[in-house]
Amino acid sequence: MARYQLSPHKIDYIFISHLHGDHYLGLMPLLFSMHLHKRKNDLHLYSPTGLDEIITLQLKHSKSVLNYKIIFHPFVPQKSELLFEDEAIIIESIPLIHKLACAGFLFREKQKPRRIVKEKLIEGMKLQQLVTLKAGADILDEDGEIIYKNEDFTKSPRASLSYAYCSDTAWNPSMIDQIKAVDLLYHEATFLHADLQKAEETKHSTASQAGEIAKLADVKKLLIGHFSARYKNLEDLLQEAKASFSNTELAIEGATFTLED
């Protein structure tokens, strides 16, 4: 995060899929670094049951008291659960198939307000009227007659985007309904399909399976990652996923991806 100039202060919510070390061992240094940077805001941690115990124990035995509060949200990944909701976004867990209890996460933006077309505004319109127009209603007078028609002053809202994070998991078509048509799917692709047996033993997916899930779920874009260190050439994994789903890219550290609106 330091390398990419991302401030840890901006993070208030962290979602951990499961308790294999490669998915949470970086958390403790991050929590301490937030402490050293004088964080004050609450931090919300979502994870399968157990992370609360691990962190509490480490703090206890190092006699550390953080200067901010951690709010744990343990959950059971076996069934999909609503984890978070506010006026803008809704977040649910996605049950995955792995050696440990493991969940993916689905982030969906809610319907956004209509957009005011500035050039169409008439002098003297009140702020409250603009709020009403953004909410999609007409402006009425006391008798309920229309003064300003919504469609004359607004255009459709920006698209509501969605992102599904699915790692780690074995071949798991049961997630397809839940992640249908998301704008972006991150799916693990630990192995090449030639190593399918290894994937099945360790409950991971092959690049070809990741592509197949993306195709069946009709998503807009696929990112693959979580590659086994045995592969020196990631291009092979990319090509394999692309054979099923062409709009695929490698999730390389530091890369950024922009979703279309």
Return the active site residues.
Answer: 22
Applying CB under 5 A, which part among 13-21, 46-54, 136-144, 150-158 lies near Zn ion?
Answer: 13-21
Q: What gap in Å lies between CA 44 and CA 106, rounded to an integer?
A: 17
Q: Report the amino acid identity of residue 10.
A: K
Q: Which lies closer to Zn ion via its Cβ, residue 39 or residue 203? A: 203
Residue of closest CB approach to Zn ion: 20
CB of 129 to Zn ion, least distance (A): 52
Interface residue with Zn ion, options 20, 69, 158, 180 (CB under 5 A) = 20
Q: Taking a C-beta distance cutoff of 8 angstroms, is the pair 49, 76 a contact? A: yes
- 168 touches Zn ion by CB under 5 A: yes
Nearest approach, Cβ of residue 22 and Zn ion (Å) = 4
Nearer to Zn ion, 250 or 259 (CB): 250
Those residues whose C-beta lies under 8 Å from the C-beta of residue 97, and which sit 6 or more positions away, are 169, 170, 171, 172, 203
Query: Is 22 one of the binding residues for Zn ion (CB under 5 A)?
Result: yes
Nearer CB in complex with Zn ion: 168/183: 168
In sequence order, what DSSP letters do the residues of 11-65 get, joined into one string? Answer: --EEE----SGGGTTTHHHHHHHHHHTT--S-EEEEEETTHHHHHHHHHHHTT--
- The CA distance from 223 to 216, in Å, is 15
Measured from the CB atom, is 119 or 253 closer to Zn ion? 253
Q: Of the listed pieces 21-29, 87-95, 211-219, 253-261, which binds Zn ion according to CB under 5 A?
A: 21-29
Q: How far is the CB of 195 from Zn ion (least distance, A)?
A: 16
Contacts of 193 (CB under 8 A, 6+ apart): 206, 207, 208, 209, 240
- Residue that is written with structure tokens 């260190």 in the block: 229
Residue-wise DSSP of 114-149: PEE-GGG--TT--HHHHHHHHTTPPEE-TTS-EEE-
For Zn ion, the closer of residues 168 and 212 by Cβ is 168
Residue 97: CB minimum distance to Zn ion, A = 11
From 18-26, 45-53, 157-165, 214-222, give the range in contact with Zn ion by CB under 5 A.
18-26
Site for Zn ion in 136-155 (CB under 5 A): none
Number of H helices, E strands in the chain: 8, 14
Q: Which residues of the chain form contacts with Zn ion (CB under 5 A)?
A: 20, 22, 168
